[in-house]
Structure 1
Amino acid sequence: MSNQVILMSYTMYCADVATLEDFSKELPVGQLLERANRDRTPDLDEPTLIGGDIAVKPGADRNADPCTSTGCLWLKNADGNVYIPYYISNQYSSREAAIITRGLESFSSVSCIRFRPYQNGDHEWLSIESRNGCYSYVGRQGGAQTVSLARSGCLYHSTVQHELLHALGFNHEQTRSDRDSYIKVYWENIQDGMSYNFDIINTLNQGTPYDYNSVMQYEKYAFSKNNRPTMMPIPDPNVSFGQATQMSRNDIDRLNRLYQCCKYTVA
């Protein structure tokens, strides 16, 4: 089977998978995230970040995938949907909140994920705030779980989807367990102290191929200290990668597989 996107025929939820909007005028998501977090000065109550924008708790194993080691999924309702409460901070203007809301709603047309506003009595929810930079924890943490989308630099459709995919349980594509078969890392070009951003994690890949077009894939100059590539695709270095401005079909496919949203067969 090739590494092209596997076309699936879904029997529930997935009729609109092919409906992907055009956000091509935005910069690639990796560039937006790196730019937003480059000079980040966190407050004392903010978490440590790894991989550029992944929040980790003190003492956490930085090379562990929560979905593999401890479980990270949000709970599924009896109707087959996964309802995830969210609260959008009043720090945002109506226009900024609309960008976030659009990102949240983009999941409902392609999966069984249903983000809904926080209600009294909810025990766990995403607290979307303008903190210092763009970041999220990986997977369900319990209680109020911060997703930071700073007003300065993070309010793009791609960055909203990227951080929400982290919150749903996904790591970066370039840290996939099979990364070395598809990406060559040039460690000598990585900024000092940033090499851990490229450490391989024992990820759950949901039987999907490596995706150069994933919204979770950074571009080839990510964290470069000398304007030389830190990553190149192999065996063909001319393959385009890290240019995503929204979720790819593979991103959608693996989300549905992780949460068992759809019954599907290979077309």
Structure 2
Amino acid sequence: MWPNIWRDDMDQITIETGMQDISSGTCVQFVPHSHEANFLDVEPRNSCWSFLGQPGGSQTISSQGPGCMWSGVAVHEFMHTLGFVHERSRSDRDRYVTIVWDNIMQEHIHNFRKHATSNLNSPYDYDSVMHYGSLIQALPSLKLPKPDPYISSGQRDGPSDLDLHKINVLHNCGR
């Protein structure tokens, strides 16, 4: 899959770098869209978001705003399309983080709900590009991590080694 990109050259390079960060460590390949029924459509809509998984047909990834144009943010959104939830939404997350529900802005509550995930027999990844820090979408929303609150968490530099491993496992890459 290859996104339909309606952006300037620097934005396109940023998005393509995110795709390359995934492709270089997994069997997932992004190919230019021609006639495929299922494809990604990266558009400058409101904020940074994507739907979970590939439902079929055109799938929009929004990357509007200065905070969206980082290759690690592109990786984050592409991982959503590949079927990954936020690390803080894993079924086993309560063993690793504490959610402070009273501090979460109402419009972001849905981003903190647990999903019924298999976790791919992988350990919790504080360094995942799918993890947020403690001050995202709330003040503070997470007490991180258990048992050592001084371990850093969340980043938008690119996929962690464990992120790439999980993509390979989920998509039967055999790497």
Q: Normalising TM by the smaller chain, what interval?
A: over 0.9
Identify the residue that residue 214 of structure 1 maps to in structure 2. Answer: 128
Q: Write the distance in 2 (CA, Å) between the matches of 1:147 and 1:199.
A: 21
Larger-gyration structure (1/2):
1
Q: Tell me the CA shift for residue 229 of structure 1.
A: 4.8
Quote the residue 2:164 is aligned against.
Answer: 252
2:150 — aligned with what? 238
Instruction: Name the counterpart of 1:166.
Output: 80
Q: What secondary structure is seen at the aligned counterpart in 1 of 2:23?
A: coil
Identity of aligned pairs, percent? 36
Deviation at 1:221, TM superposition (A): 1.3
Equivalent residue letter for 1:101: E
The secondary structure found in structure 1 opposite 2:119 is coil
Aligned residue number for residue 102 of structure 2: 188
Give the aligned partner of residue 148 of structure 1: 62
Q: Which amino acid aligns with 1:133?
A: S
Partners of 2:38 and 2:145 in 1: CA distance: 39
Q: How far off its partner does 1:88 sit? A: 1.2
CA contact (8 A) 1:213 1:244 kept: no
| Whole-Å separation in 2 of the counterparts to 1:179 and 1:197 | 13
For residues 199 and 151 of structure 1, do their structure 2 counterparts lie closer, same or farther at Cα, with a shift above 3 Å needed?
Answer: closer
Contact preservation (8 Å) 1:85, 1:122: no
The number of equivalent residue pairs is: 175
Query: Gaps spanning 5+ residues in structure 2: where?
Result: none
Q: How far does the alpha carbon of each residue in 1:151-173 deviate from its partner, in whole angstroms, 9 at most, with x for none?
A: 54311011100000001110000
Alignment match of 2:27 (pick from 100, 112, 124): 112
Deviation by residue 1:196-233 (Cα, 9 ceiling, x = unmatched): 32111101311110000000001111222xx4453321
Looking at both structures, which has the greater relative contact order when contacts are Cα pairs under 8 Å and sequence separation is at least 6?
A: 1
Residue equivalent to 2:2: 85
Unaligned runs of 5+ in 1: 1-83
Question: Matched residues in 2 for 1:209 and 1:197: separation?
Answer: 21
Higher strand share: 1
Q: Does 1:98 align with 2:10?
A: no
Contact 1:185 1:232 in 2 (8 A): no
TM-score, normalised to structure 2, is 0.93
Equivalent pair of 2:18/2:158 in contact (CA under 8 Å) = no
Q: Which moved more, 1:194-203 or 1:168-177?
A: 194-203
Q: What's the CA shift for 1:194?
A: 3.1
Is the alpha carbon distance of 1:194 and 1:145 closer, same or farther for their aligned partners in structure 2, counting shifts above 3 Å? closer
CA–CA distance in structure 1, aligned partners of residues 17 and 158 of structure 2 = 12
Aligned AA for 1:123? A
Q: Do structure 1's residue 129 and structure 2's residue 46 form an aligned pair?
A: no
Could you tell me which residue of structure 2 aligns to residue 175 of structure 1?
A: 89
Structure with the bigger percentage of helix: 2
3-state secondary structure, aligned to 2:3: strand
> Where does 1:10-21 land on structure 2 (aligned, <5 Å)?
none
Of 88, 107, 114, which aligns to 1:200?
A: 114
